[in-house]
Amino acid sequence: MTGETTHNLRGDYSRMRPDYTVDQDWPAYTPQEHALWRRLYERQAALVPKYACREFIASLSALDFGAAIPRFDAVNPRLAAATRWQVVAVPGLLPDAVFFEHLANRRFPVTVWLRTPEEFDYIVEPDVFHDFFGHVPLLFDPVFADYLQAYGRGGLKADALGAIEMLSRLYWYTVEFGLIETSEGLKTYGAGILSSGGELPHCVESDEPNRIGFDLLRIMRTAYKIDSFQETYFAIRDFRELFEATAPDFTPHYAKLAGLESHAAGEVLSSNRVLHRGGNRQRPA
Ligand code: PHE
Ligand code: CO
């Protein structure tokens, strides 16, 4: 999801170009894989109207890619026209610097392989369903699209400053697991939630997790869980808030945070704008 882990990778990295891109090789997908895609899509599309932010809902229905694994080449002209972004095919997770370089140039890396039917409910590594269904629709939103590019540029800088761990937390708690406060209640724009059958209702309805107002430094100081539902979600008010809060130079933030201990994933602080205080009971994802 974030490109921060590069061990035990599942994809075929033997045929990639120097920038880690590959051909999607769409004709190689099997009828069984297209059928699995349809099942995954149907489950998520049924949940989206209730739990996703309106930007995601609008984009998903306009794109209408539920019938088969989409051809990246088919979405790219539409994406180019909307926000000048492109989808590029990759074998799987990427080294940090490669991932940041793509984002900084408005290219979103999408994994080519699809999970197995046994992984219908849960998968740790991002596959084409997570990457495409979860991430691509929001690339059509102009403000979110600019945020993601700024994040990529910020990543290249964080790499040089030894601050990737702090910056990765921001990606995790926004791009992957972010919530958004709307006049219709809390919704989500996080791809890790949007592509998950269980976490989509859980993130806004469950009593277990904390839900806290977006706070940049607090997020960059907070650890996260990669193999269970999140213990804390952070909510923005809109993409403009996210873009503006992250626009200033992070160099002083990194310097300040470097000497401080991290907060645990489930911690609530007195300084937090608490929307919901969770019970933090552990449960498997
Ligand atoms: N403003 C950040 C920096 O100076 C870059 C950034 C923008 C990081 C948006 C994340 C998201 O490092
Ligand atoms: Co992701």
Which domains, and CATH codes, for the chain? 26-276 (1.10.800.10)
Confidence of residue 44 (pLDDT cuts 50, 70, 90): very high
Q: What is the mean pLDDT of residues 118-146?
A: 96
Catalytic residue numbers, as ranges: 130, 135, 176, 195
Can you tell me the mean pLDDT for 255-262? 94
CA dist 29 and 68 (Å) reads: 10
Q: Which atom of ligand 1 is nearest to the CA of 248?
A: 1
pLDDT category of residue 5 using cuts at 50, 70 and 90? very low
Ligand whose nearest atom lies closest to the CA of 253: 1
* 98 CA to centre of ligand 1 in angstroms: 17
Stretch 227-245: mean pLDDT = 97
Q: Ligand 1 center to residue 245 CA distance, Å? A: 9
Please identify every residue whose CB atom is under 5 Å from ligand 2, which is an ion: 1, 126, 191
| Contact call for residues 269 and 277 (beta carbons, < 8 A) | no
94: buried, middle or exposed (CB in 10 Å: 19+, 13-18, 0-12)? buried
Alpha carbons 98 and 66: distance in angstroms, whole number = 30
- What is the average per-residue pLDDT within 147-167? 97
Probe target for ligand 1 pocket from 241, 246, 251, with the most ligand atoms within 8 Å of CB? 246
**What's the pLDDT at 39?**
98
pLDDT value at 237 more than 90: yes
pLDDT bin (cut points 50, 70, 90) of residue 124 is: confident
Model confidence, pTM: 0.94
Cα separation values, 40 from 129, 194, 196, 223, 266, Å: 8, 11, 9, 29, 30
Q: Does ligand 1 lie within 6 Å of residue 152's CB atom?
A: no
Assign 281 a pLDDT band (cuts: 50, 70, 90): low
**35-to-40, 70, 74, 228, 252 alpha-carbon distances in Å:** 9, 12, 19, 27, 50
Task: State whether the beta carbon of 170 lies less than 6 angstroms from ligand 1.
Answer: yes
Question: How far, in Å, is the centroid of ligand 1 from the Cα of 227?
Answer: 26
Percent residues over pLDDT 90 in the chain: 92
The answer to whether the CB of 249 is under 6 A from ligand 1 is yes
Cα–Cα dist 87/107, whole Å: 6
d(CA 139, ligand 1 centre) in Å: 18
Mean pLDDT of 56-73: 98
The CB of 246 under 6 Å from ligand 1? The reply is yes
250 in ligand 1 pocket by Cβ < 6 Å?
Answer: yes
